Structure 1
Amino acid sequence: MWVPPALRLAGALFLADMAVLAALARLGLKLAQLGLVAAWLEAGLRFPALAMAGWLLAPGRPQGATALLCLAPASFLALRTCLALPGAPPALLATASPGWLVLAYGASGLALLTWQALGHGAPADAGTPEAKATLRRLLALTWPQWPYLCGAFIFLTLAMIGETLVPYYTGRVIDILSNGFSADSFTTAIWLMCLASVGSSLFAGCRGGFFSFIMSRLNFRTCDQLFSHLVRQELAFFQQVKTGGSDLTSRLATDVPVMNRVVPANANIFLRNLVKALGLYGFMMGLSWRLTLLTLLELPLAIAARKLYDVRHQALLQAILEARACAEAVVQEAVSSIETVQGFGAEEEEARRYERALDETRRLKDRRDLERALFLLFRRMLQVTMQALMLYCGRQQIHEGVLTTGSLVSFLLYQGNVSHHVQALVYMYGDLQSNVGAACKVFEYLDREPAVGTAGTQAPGALRGHVAFRNVSFAYPARPKELVLQDVSFELRPGEVMALVGLNGSGKSTCVGLLERFYEPQAGEVLLDGVPLREYDHKYLHRQVALVGQEPVLFSGSIRDNIAYGLEGCGEQDVRAAARAAGALDFISALDKGFDTDVGEKGGQLSAGQKQRVAIARALIRCPSVLILDEATSALDGDSELALQQSVLRGGARTVLLIAHRPWMVESADRIVVLERGAVVEMGTHAELLARGGPYSHLVQSKRHER
């Protein structure tokens, strides 16, 4: 029959212990004459027997229970002797009543459960090499702030001294009042107590101010570094992560402040509570070392309860967040699809869905509040029990004359504070590990190298604008096995207008992305004046190769700022000339504020045609050698499109790559390249391609039928 290992170990220890205690009972009278030494001698004789029994009958199980069973009675008797408690405990467990044996096993079991709770509450990744490496990086990140950290630590020490002196002088005042009133001594004690209280408050405020200042500086530096690093990543990176208020913005808005709390805030909490706990224990030892030993009984139980509660609390918080997110998703889905909801008369169904989501959130919150109430009740009962025990022991010491009433009051005040500080240290450890997890995510982005490098250095004084695709094959990173372009080769000659045509999904926009160097091809090369694009300086390349897309993005600010976006030292004449060339000067001049008109968020204050003309001006002000118009004329009226053709497409020295669906725009191109399923299938002028009757001819005919 299978027996659980824990039960097998307990049974083995119990049977072996009964045999050893029966043998020691015969020597009880002789051993009892040794006093306290007999208890430790009994523990030494029991340990090898219990250890051997546990090893034989329950191999592989931890032997902590053996040590506890042997050492617990001897430690208890030694503590009783130190505290000088009344009563006559047995000298040996072997000669004691069965109740003492039950008490020994119960205390050992409780200690084992406490130890298991402490181990269970620790984060799984505590102490891992990754966590240690992250902590070292955080320390290196914080090190430049060492002058402010030193100032914070100085104020922390001064605040701790003041806070520990307040209870001490409180007890002094009570002793003065109890032993006969002395005006001078009473006044001095009151003044010193007030001075310590005011000084501790002042120094604590300075300490908190220093740490807040340090965290603010760290947040600014880290956010700046992270954002600067993110905007240099390749386009595929942003297509794979959630940028719309989710992943990247969460790193900047949430994880960066959290990770920057690791060193300053946790150092503040750790040092404050550690120094205070040690200082308070020093004062408590000076008042009564016996009572100080007694307070140590509370710490394991308080720490275990805190860790168990923290584990449960974190799990419930995560569940509450998920339930709340589900409720928010119901609202967002219903509101965004309100026409469908009302069209099918499903208002009541959506209300029931939201009610069910809210009910789940309420249930989890009720459970969280109940567990918190039980935890607070246990902690309060533990504190009351310890205070009652200390009052009882303190009364004995007052009668013995080794402790005064004021000293007992001071000790009780210290004891209440020291328990709080120890629990804060336990909580800080768990908080440190969670903050390190947030830092790992931020460092993961900071360490990421863009797949499309920007280490090129070439920046010639002039470019002819000759573009060549040489056997280019490409697949998007999200779908590496699906080739979008297959062995594509074509050229754009200097000063030529070339149209790239094909059905949707044929690879036109992908060619634009490669020419703009948003991606790197898996095979082949894209050349500009015979030089691979990767060898050009990043800023230089994007000034010489300008793109205007179908849905251009404008940024909040004036029209002038949007036209000169990304350039330095642009004069008013340059801005006006670019606006005139793009056909935007007339409508800009008609606005009340002209070039100072605010375009609104994403250019929302302008019409689609006006936004496109501003975007074209933004490209033209760079005087690019290669201009890419990717459906950039779709929102323009006929007159504006004709003006654009005269001023931009026939600009002379500029090379233009044109992607358009309007036949007459394509017909005006010097040369046409036809793409089909990622491959070049035809190339030539409009007349030549029509005469062949191939894919281009079929495409033109289908466009005419659509019209």
Structure 2
Amino acid sequence: MSGTLQHTLLPYVFVLTFDAILWLLAWLLLITNSVGVTWLWCYRLVCWGILHYLAQLINIENGQTVLTRWVAALCLTSPAYEAGKTLGLFNSSNNCTVPDVGMVVLYVASASMACLLWEWGFPDKANGDNGKEKKKQEARALLMRVMRYSAPDYLYLAAAFLFLTLTALGETYIPIYVGKVIDILSGTYDHNGFLWAIGLMGLYSLGSSLFGGLRGGMFMCTLCRLNKRVRHMLFQNLMRQEINFFEENKPGSLSSRLISDTDKMGRSVAMNVNVLLRSLVKTVGMLYFMLGLSWELTLLACVEMPLVAALQNNYNKFSQDLTQQLQDCQAETREMASEAIGAVRTVRSFHAESQELGRYEEALKRMSHIKRRKGIYSAVFLLLRRMVTVGIKVLMLLQGRVLISTQQLSMGSLLSFVLYQKDMATNMKHLVYIYGDMLSTATSSVKVFQLLDRKPKMKEEGSSAPQQLKGKLAFHNVTFSYPSSPDIQALKNVTLEVGAGKMTALVGPSGGGKSSCVSLLQRFYEPQEGEVLLDGKPLHFYPQQYLHSKMAMVSQNPVLFSGSVRYNIKYGLKGCSDEQVEEAAKRANADNFICKLEDGYNTDVGECGGQLSSGQKQCIAIARALVRRPQILILDECTSSMDVNTQEAVQAVLNGAEGQTVLVIAHRLQTVERADHIIFMDNGEVLEQGTQQQLMDMKGQYYRLKEKLFHAD
């Protein structure tokens, strides 16, 4: 035995020795064992005072409160039990006697078990590891927050709790009448008593089944409503986040939080609370009946509870860690598979199937290893728990045989007790397991709450929404770095203007900062320095919804959604008629190929528009922008995959857009030559700007770039 363990146990052994001496004095002072309950209370209160004084003299680091609490339970268990016998709470003689040695041992055991259960369920903050205690407190706070999300369903929960209580009461009475049926059949047969017992047993069984079904239905209804509510709130908050948030968090991980973790949050309230309350109500009722049948067997049965609780508690610690690792591994595997399948064309073109298969297999191996460890822990725990359960049951049957032989217990009562004891062990297991699982579930919902509480790292949008918008854009001394690369400046003190109702072209080599300007115009990011203005006001003065209703963008690689062509053209636009959709498609020169599709405008474009060519997707994207009739139109290499005829048709539409501000980013198209204003950018800076003729006369970098890229046109 280690020195620490000796230091911990010696005070308890010392107090227990003094208590044994005090019991010995009681036996020596009394010639007869018959005493009054009042005398026993007075004597044990005096013993409590003496032992409490001794416990105070003993200085135990981080354990003084536990020792004094154990002393109180040790001294007051015997008079409390004798008082219960006097009041008729227990099926025993009402004669109060000085307990014999066996009874004293049972009192010590029951008091110790009660203190162990108390310390396990409600540990002192000063006694435990501060880090672990802090985690438990955080988990409890999270659990309470999850439960507060169920507040709108209080009527459903109240009905569920009522049905739960009725179910537990019905199930608690069944073993009593099973025992009565056995006593009637094993003794003198009483036909009326037999029918009465069978009838009540059937009534309680039917009632518990009926109320159990209603209870489950109400809890499941609550679970569905809670999941819907939390998922709606989470998805709504995710849609409000800045673009950089989605670059830092991969779609697979966010989908896992939205689906898997929110479901676990719901189970922590609907399912776990269901089992927890049912087990708690049944445990209290069964303890009452068990004490009425035999207090000796009840004390013996109570020995099993702390042992199983200790085993379950240790198992929960390992299981929670492994469960968290398994969740992370599953999210990684799901994300890996989604990424490979979504980019199957790229994987196929680079002949990387074996590489992706190897990555996926490694992830599966890690997940299999975690599952194997979890299975081993589970098997060892089940073996130890079964050994404890079988051992206690054998001792109970031996003690039951003694009670039957002394006619203190009938065979039917013993059967009822065994049934109660079996249910009691199951309920205690549920209580311990569900408590740990609820904390684990609450812990796993930390990331969900973090996403729910997260505020977008953007300036708060204003309320400016004028009826008429000129469409003048300006950059004033804008310096910008992407959050993923804060040390690299994508824009360096950029100042430029995009005239209202005019066409402006941004040109320059790749990486010059053109797309960064577009990202700032759409408020995907905020500049670190300077301001981006619309009609003289910073962009954050306008509501996002208003801003994007007045501004439309078509990118080089537009994203389409699974659904019909019509759905993609009027995506996000309410009140858009079919005539408007077809008119926009004609302006984008998309109507010809759309009509040739199998179902025309109702043809499904497939996932991410996979059923269409790149040029067709660009045409639909342009139609999607034109149908909104935006005041500001941004085109980022939007015709790079089109044929010559389609490019010329789109350019004609753009040239005829009167009063519309158009910003074009292009390398090869003749659209740049028709622009009212051309801005040349390189390395995040504005190097040259002016009209086509002015820049050509300067014979600077724009002239050289045009000679290189546009000469073929």
Q: TM-score range, shorter-chain basis?
A: 0.7 to 0.9
User: Which range is displaced more, 312-321 or 575-584?
Assistant: 312-321
How many Å separate the matches in 1 of 2:512 and 2:686? 9
Aligned with 2:320 (options 292, 314, 319):
314
Structure 2 SS opposite 1:488: strand
Q: Closer, same or farther in 2 for the Cα pair 1:610/1:369, shift >3 Å?
A: closer
Please show how residues 27-426 of structure 1 align to structure 2 within 5 Å.
52=57, 54-55=58-59, 64=66, 124-125=133-134, 128=137, 130-131=138-139, 133-243=141-251, 245-246=252-253, 248-318=254-324, 365=371, 367-426=373-432
Measured in 2, the distance between the counterparts of 1:164 and 1:388 equals 23
AA partner of residue 145 (structure 1): D
1:642 to 619, 643, 648: 648
Equivalent position SS for 1:450: coil
- Partners of 2:482 and 2:498 lie apart in 1 by 24
Task: Tell me how far apart the structure 1 counterparts of residues 699 and 610 of structure 2 sit (CA, whole Å).
Answer: 44
Deviation at 1:697, TM superposition (A): 2.6
TM-aligned CA deviation for residue 534 of structure 1: 2.3
Range moving further from structure 2, 441-450 or 362-371: 362-371
1:690 to 659, 675, 696: 696
AA partner of residue 222 (structure 1)? V
User: Does 2:507 align with 1:468?
Assistant: no
1:230–1:304 Cα change, 3 Å: same
Q: Write the mapping of 1:307-706 to structure 2, written as runs, cut at 5 A.
A: 307-318=313-324, 365=371, 367-452=373-458, 455-662=461-668, 664-703=670-709
Distance in 2 of aligned mates of 1:426 and 1:92: 29
The share of aligned pairs that are identical, in percent, is 41
Higher mean C-alpha displacement, 528-537 vs 563-572: 528-537
The superposition leaves residues 671-691 of structure 1 with CA deviations (integer Å, 9 ceiling, x where unpaired) of 111122222121112222232
1:315, distance to aligned residue in structure 2 (A)? 3.7
- Count of residue pairs brought into register by the alignment: 684
AA matched with 1:209: G
| Residues 124-176 of structure 1: CA deviation (Å, up to 9, x unaligned) | 44553x54554444333212212211221222122112211221111111111
RMSD (CA atoms): 4.4
**Is there any run of 5+ residues in structure 1 with no aligned partner, and where?**
94-99
Give the Cα separation in 2 of the matches to 1:47 and 1:443: 46
Q: Distance in 2 between matches of 1:21 and 1:567?
A: 83
Distance 1:438 1:25 in 2: 51
CA drift at 1:225:
2.1
Paired with 1:67 and 1:237, the residues of 2 have a C-alpha distance of: 52
- For residue 375 of structure 1, what is the amino acid of its counterpart? F
- Aligned letter for 2:200? L
Q: Deviations over 1:224-280 (max 9, x none)?
A: 22212211222222122112x22x111111111111223222321221111111111
How far has the Cα of 1:434 moved from its partner?
1.9
CA contact (8 A) 1:176 1:186 kept: yes
Find the aligned partners of 1:22 and 1:576 in 2 and give their Cα distance. 97
- Show CA shifts across 1:429-450 (max 9, x none): 1112122223332232222222
Cα offsets for 1:182-226 (capped at 9, x unmatched): 222222222222222222122111111111111111111221222
Q: Give the match's secondary structure for 1:297.
A: helix
Note the C-alpha offset of 1:331: 9.4
SS at the partner of 1:598? coil
Secondary structure of 1:687's partner? helix
Q: Distance in 2 between matches of 1:23 and 1:403?
A: 34
Cα 1:419/1:457, change in 2 over 3 Å: same
Q: Secondary structure at the match of 2:149?
A: helix
Query: Structure 2: where are the runs of 5+ without partners?
Result: 86-91, 94-98
Any idea what the Cα deviations from partners look like across 1:428-471, whole Å, max 9, x if unmatched? 11112122223332232222222335743333333222222222
Are the structure 2 counterparts of residues 266 and 372 from structure 1 closer, same or farther at C-alpha, using a change threshold of 3 Å? closer
With over 3 angstroms needed to count, the CA separation of the structure-2 counterparts of 1:61 and 1:458, relative to structure 1, is: closer
| CA shift for structure 1 position 654 | 1.4
Moved more, 178-187 or 694-703: 694-703
Q: Which amino acid aligns with 1:210?
A: M
Note the C-alpha offset of 1:76: 9.6
Distance, in Å, in 2 between the alignment partners of 1:276 and 1:551 is: 63
Contact 2:172 2:286 (8 Å CA) reproduced: yes
Task: Tell me, yes or no, if the aligned pair for 1:17 and 1:50 is still in contact at 8 Å.
Answer: no
**Residues 224 and 385 of structure 1: is their aligned pair in 2 closer, same or farther, counting only changes over 3 Å?**
same
Cα distance in structure 2, aligned partners of 1:200 and 1:366: 39
Structure 1 CA distance for aligned equivalents of residues 712 and 119 of structure 2: 75
Normalising to structure 2: TM-score of the pair?
A: 0.83
Query: Helix, strand or coil for the counterpart of 1:539?
Result: helix
Change in 2 beyond 3 A, CA 1:89/1:515:
same
1:295-342 superposed Cα distances (whole Å, 9 cap, x missing partner): 222221121111112223334445666778899999999998988999
CA drift at 1:619: 0.6
Distance, in Å, in 2 between the alignment partners of 1:174 and 1:260 is 44
Query: How far is 1:505 from its partner?
Result: 2.0
- Mapped to 1, the partners of 2:515 and 2:432 lie a distance apart of 56
Output the CA distance in 1 between the equivalents of 2:690 and 2:601.
Answer: 42
In 1: Cα distance, 2:561 partner to 2:350 partner: 35
Q: Is the 8 A contact 1:51 1:63 kept in 2?
A: no
For 1:221, give the aligned amino acid: R
Residues 576 and 471 of structure 1, relative CA distance in 2, 3 Å threshold? same
Q: Deviations along 1:545-592, whole A, 9 cap, x unmatched?
A: 110000011111111111111112222221122111111111112223
Q: 1:115 touches 1:304 (CA, 8 Å); kept in 2?
A: no
Counterpart secondary structure, 2:496: strand
Comparing 216-225 with 387-396, greater Cα deviation is found at 387-396
State the TM-score, normalized to the length of structure 1: 0.83
Pick which of 36-45 and 365-374 moved more: 36-45
2:202 alignment partner AA: C
Contact 1:13–1:66 (8 Å) recurs in 2? no
Of the structure 1 ranges 574-583 and 185-194, higher mean CA displacement relative to structure 2 is found in 185-194
Deviating more after overlay: 437-446 vs 589-598 = 437-446
Pick which of 664-673 and 380-389 moved more: 380-389
Residue 106 to residue 706, structure 1, CA distance change in 2 (3 Å): farther
Between the aligned partners of 1:206 and 1:253, the Cα distance in structure 2 is 27
Contact 2:140 2:439 (C-alpha < 8 Å) held by counterparts = no
Q: Provide the secondary structure at the position in 1 that maps to 2:267.
A: coil
In the TM superposition, what is the alpha-carbon distance from 1:385 to its structure 2 partner?
2.8
Task: Give how far 1:117 is off.
Answer: 7.3
Whole-angstrom CA distance in 1 between matches of 2:157 and 2:19: 59
